[in-house]
Structure 1
Amino acid sequence: MAAQKGKDLLLKIDDGTGAFVTVAGLRSRQLRFNAETVDITHAESVGRWRELLDGAGVKRASVAGSGLFRDAASDALMRQIFFDGAVRDFQVILPDFGVIEGPFQVTALEFAGNHNGEVTYDLALESAGAVGFEAA
């Protein structure tokens, strides 16, 4: 994969009609995948090395972003689903890699502003079910 522009990594949200709209104003985006391990080490483990159970444990995806508050339709949608505690489908588009899609819940939504600057926001999403991947 060749070098990519950070602005091409997109976060999109299902607007309730099945169409995905880009979350407005984001300047930075981050996607993390994590998997918990299940330790099955026992007294007879070879060389006392830790052993892990294959295919076990909980997987999750986390998305974080920050940007400018633009008061766009996607801003209002994010605020509403946060206050509703709703789970919505999101897409994370990674150029030349693929699309990650699945249900996420907005777990943090923060707004900030300096006296002589713009209003910014930070958000955090956590996967709330199976997340799919489609290669580019």
Structure 2
Amino acid sequence: MTAQSGKDMLLKLDQTGAGSFLTVAGLRSRSIAFNAASIDTTDQESAGRWRELLSGGGIKRAAISGTGIFKDQTSDAAVRALFFGGTIRTWQLILPDFGTIVGPFQIVALEYAADHAGEVTFEIALESAGEIGFDVH
């Protein structure tokens, strides 16, 4: 596999809940992080007193974040409406030549910023709200 262009990593939201995906326009950077909490099952009989973990236990979560500039009224309005409504919607994060991460997410942070001599920017953060899938390309 060759190096991939960051601009090809897309964040899309299901704007209606019916599978009609809209690209969140203007994003300059985006990332995803997966985390899983562990469940410690260590007791006084644990071999050598080494920590033991419960296989498959714990809570898994995914977090998506991105920063960008306003480029498209449709996606800007959809993002704002989802945030202020506290709506959980299906989102996709497309990783070129790798696959698509898809699942329910809620927008947990939406920030706006501006410099006197620059453009208005936004930051968005999403947290998983259910099972996340991965479709290989």
Which range, TM-score by smaller chain? over 0.9
Find the counterpart in structure 2 of residue 99 from structure 1. 100
- Could you tell me which amino acid in structure 2 is paired with residue 68 of structure 1? I
Residues 65-74 or 18-27, more deviating: 65-74
Q: Indicate yes or no: 2:51 matched with 1:50.
A: yes
Unaligned runs of 5+ in 2: none
Measured in 2, the distance between the counterparts of 1:37 and 1:135 equals 27
Name the counterpart of 1:83. 84
Q: What corresponds to 1:110 in structure 2?
A: 111
Residue 46 of structure 1 and its aligned partner are, at CA, apart by 1.4
Alignment of 1:24-43 (within 5 A): 24-43=25-44
Q: Give the TM-score, by structure 1 length.
A: 0.96
Q: What SS class does the counterpart of residue 13 from structure 2 fall into? A: strand
Pairwise mapping of residues 58-73 of structure 1 onto structure 2 (< 5 A)?
58-73=59-74
Is 1:7 paired with 2:10? Answer: no
1: CA distance, partners of 2:107 / 2:47? 44
Are 2:104 and 2:130, in contact at CA under 8 Å, matched by a contact in 1? yes
**Runs of 4+ displaced beyond 3 Å:** none
Unaligned runs of 5+ in 1: none
| TM-score, normalisation: structure 2 | 0.95
